[in-house]
Structures are given as structure tokens and as C-alpha cells.
Amino acid sequence: MKRYWISVLVAVSATLFMFYQNNGIAQQAQVNLSQAAPGARPEVAPGGAPAGGLPEAKPEAGTAKAVEPVTIQTDMTALNNGGVLSVTGSAPAGKPVYLEVWAEDAVRASRFDASVDKDTGKRPYILYMTEAMPAYYRIYTPGELKGTLENIKKLKGDWSASQAIKDLGAEAAYSVPARIKIDRYQATLLGSVVGSRGDLLPAMEEKENRRRSMQLVKARFRDPAKVFMPNVEVKPDGTFSAKVNIDGGSAPGKYFIRAVADKDVKSRTITVENNISFPNIYFSNAGTSINFFGPFLLTLAIAIFGVLMGAGGGFILNPLLVSLWPLPHTVVAGTVMPTVAFSQASGIVNYSKIKFINWKLGTTIGLSMVLGAFIGPKLTELVSLSQYKFIFGWILIVLAGLMFWQTMPAYLAKNKKEQAILKEFKKKAEEKTLRPAVA
């Protein structure tokens, strides 16, 4: 019974620490949000960018004023943990209409380019990283392009964001991620060993920045269905309608919607706010919100199992968090590390009481682990989700093999002798602790 309550305490502590690590209760993110009036323009910061930092598209000089304007409106200006918006408007007759939808909140996205360059035949080993990727980004395309998107989905992990945008005719609609600031680092083997991203390279030209941003969009959202949605219905007279779905679990805050009919034929940008409340919690560094009780119950079950197995439970919690929720593997790896410390701390206290800890050996191993813990997080940035799952999968297979070997008769016979020795050591340790008390 005592172990059960210890497990409950560990689960509660680990879950709360995980939420604190990821910016706590999402209601704090709702401060300073204001209700947008129907059809209102977004707040504009100095320089013409929407409040929140993501740049607003500007019409190019010399744009013909005779072009029929694109209008847009939505049936709601506020949502609660996502929802479906009905967007309508009008555009020049005969032109396809696309909707570009993005969130004000931004997250990190990164991609390590280790593929062989077609021109040089060498691997560039360059890390591309941005802190300004919209937490939500989606382009709504004309409904007749549904078949094209299905063909893109069939490529699975080999789909290309740039090719998909070209095939869907969405070049004019893709604008917000194309202008985000992207840093790139020249990685080296020695730098990776010591935990360095590498040397910061000069800023890219606009065209190259746009191309790399498409790769980061794929790295961030992974699934083409999360980036494209073919449901814009356009009538012969130019009027259009679409259902814009802000997924449950999306970031709270402002969302911007803009209709695009051509490169220089765009609507004004309208604003919608998405609010979330407890038990939903927003993880700012992951760009998603989840129900509090999901990870709490999962951690509780794993903590109980971990105590029974004599393990911290991180090796079980890690792949489950990646699989069950849309959390980046880098965030999961970083979050699980400190939460496991709760269960490990209680183990250290108990082993210390029965004198089973060799502090000299533990200190030596600990120094090595400090170095490994410094290098590991940097290496995590250099692997994709599929590579991360592959490596972690093999680690779990090896652990499963070791556990299976420990059930073999030969090991059990040897283990009985070890248990007898451990019991003798424990008995002597208890006698030493009792002698001063008796005296």
C-alpha cells in the first residue's frame, strides 16, 4: 500500500513538473487577448506586420487597381479549443481561390540536412532552425484538387512540401512561412561530440529562405493532410465558401485567415481567436495543448510499473508520449528527463538507507553521465522523428532481450545466490544502524 501511494505521489509530481516545464496552465496565454469584431482587420505592429511578429504580406508597387478585390468574412470570431469556421467571400470570376490560415503563436522547427547534394555529391551537414514557425499553418485549396492531395499522401514520408505546393498550385498562397527568419549552422563531427550546433552561416537569400522554409514546414507538421485541405468551393461568379477547421489541441490566441486568388490578388486578413481552459493545458514549446488527465493517468500507470520493475519509467514514457500526442520528439526527450528524477530520487533515498550505494563509483559514473547529458540534447536536434523512433525502438528491443534472458533458468539460479548475498549485506547494514540507537 505504501508503494502505491508513493507511485501516486510520483505521478502527480512528474505530471505537474512537466506542465510547469512547458509553460504551465494555458490560461496565462489568454492574457491580453481581445475579441475581434466581425470582419475586423488584425492589429498591426510598426512596419506593417500583424501583432505577434509574423509578417503581413504587402502589395507590390505598381499593382493594378482595376483588379476586382477579393472579399472575405467568417461566421465566428472566437472559438473554444478549436472548431469549424464557415468562411465565405468573393474573388474575380474564373480564378481558383486558396485560403492561407496561420496562428499568431510561433514554435521552433529544425531540420538537419545530411542528404547527398545532387550537384556536388557531398553531404552538407547543415542544421536549419527557426523560432518563428507558426504553431498552426494550413493552406485550403480548391476542392477539385482532392485527388492530387491523395497522391501526395501515398508518398508517405517521402513527400516534398515544395513539390506539393507546386502540384496544388498554391505558390501564391504560401507566403507566411516563406518570410520567417531561418538560422543555419555548419555542423561538424567534432562539434556534435562536444554538443555544439556548429558555426552560424550567413543569412540566405529570399528565394533560398523560401525553399528551406518549405522543408521546415514538413519537419514541423510531418503529414501533408495537416498542411493542405482541399475544400474551397468556388462558383462561376467568383463567390467561394470553405470550412476552416482549427484542430482541437491547437495553440490558443489569434489566428489569421487570408484569401488568395493570384500573386497580387489577395483579400485583407481577418482575425479569429482560439481560447482554451482547464483541463486543457498549452505547451508553448510544443505548439499544442492536451488534456491534463491524459498524461497524468499515463504517468501514474508507468510510475507504478516502474517501481515494481526498479526503473525510472522514462524509457516507457518517452515513446508513448510521442505516439499518443502531437509532441515533438525533442520536447518529449527534454521533458521526460527531469520528470524521471522524481522516481529516481525516492530510489536513491531508500538505497542510501540500506547502505547499497557506493558513492565513489556513483560519482565516477555520474561525471560521465553529466557529459553524456550535455551532448545528448544537441544530438537530438540533428535527428528526425523517424530516425528517433528507429533508434529508440532498437534500444527497447535490446532491453526486452535482456529482460527475457533474466527469466532463463541459468540466470535465475545465479540470481538466487546473489539475492542471498544481498540479504546478508542488508542484515548487517540494519544491525549497524540499530546499534547506536540501542546504546
Domain limits of the chain? Answer: 1-21+281-432, 82-275
At residue 154, what is the residue type? Answer: K
Helix then strand then coil, in percent of the chain rounded to 5, is 45, 20, 35
Q: What is the pLDDT of residue 402?
A: 77
Is pLDDT of 336 > 50? yes
- Tell me which residue has cell 536536434: 381
Torsion of CA 288, 291, 294, 295, to 10 degrees: 50
In whole angstroms, what is the distance from residue 80 CA to residue 83 CA? 7
293 CB burial (10 A radius; 0-12, 13-18, 19+): exposed
In whole angstroms, what is the distance from residue 248 CA to residue 174 CA? 23
Per-residue model confidence as pLDDT tens digits over 82-102: 999 999 999 999 999 999 999
Query: pLDDT-derived band of residue 60, with 50, 70 and 90 as boundaries?
Result: very low
User: Percent of the chain at pLDDT above 70?
Assistant: 69
Quick check: helix, strand or coil at residue 14?
A: helix
- Cα 182 versus chain centre, distance: 18
At residue 140, what is the residue type? Answer: Y
What pTM does this model have?
Answer: 0.70
Query: pLDDT-derived band of residue 432, with 50, 70 and 90 as boundaries?
Result: low
Per-residue model confidence as pLDDT tens digits over 246-266: 999 999 999 999 999 999 999
What's the rounded mean pLDDT across residues 315-342?
A: 77
Alpha helix ranges (H) inside 277-313? 293-309
- In this predicted structure, which of 91-105, 191-205, 208-222, 299-313 has the lowest mean pLDDT? 299-313
Q: What is the pLDDT of residue 368?
A: 77
Per-residue model confidence as pLDDT tens digits over 129-175: 999 999 999 999 999 999 999 999 999 989 999 999 999 999 999 99
- Going by the DSSP 8-state scheme, the letter that residue 172 receives in this structure is T
- In this predicted structure, which of 116-120, 166-170, 279-283 has the lowest mean pLDDT? 116-120
Q: What is the pLDDT of residue 86?
A: 98
More confidently predicted of 340 and 96: 96
Q: What is the pLDDT of residue 208?
A: 96
